[in-house]
Amino acid sequence: MLYTIISEYDIFTQGEKPAQFMDIGNGKVEYTVSGKNKVVKSLFSTDPRMYIDERYQPGRRV
């Protein structure tokens, strides 16, 4: 556990490229670019069915 006023983002994301977002149906997918591929990092949706959809699982290509 870290006791600091510095954001976790600033501590743990040094050297990483910022994530990008893509609109999909009822939500958004956060992804990173790896070579020519877009790789899912997170899903943000109010539709619970989207969370079990394999297309939006972390690590999958968009």
For the segment 7-15, the average pLDDT, to the nearest whole number, is 72
**Both tokens of residue 42?**
């997170």
For residue range 36-54, list pLDDT tens digits in order.
999 999 999 999 999 999 9
Q: Residue 25 to residues 6, 37, 50, 60: CA-CA distances in angstroms?
A: 35, 20, 9, 17
Instruction: Provide the 3-class DSSP secondary structure of residue 37.
Output: strand
pLDDT band at 23, cuts 50/70/90?
A: very high
For the segment 12-27, the average pLDDT, to the nearest whole number, is 81
- Is the pLDDT assigned to residue 19 strictly greater than 90? no
Q: Quote the pTM value.
A: 0.68
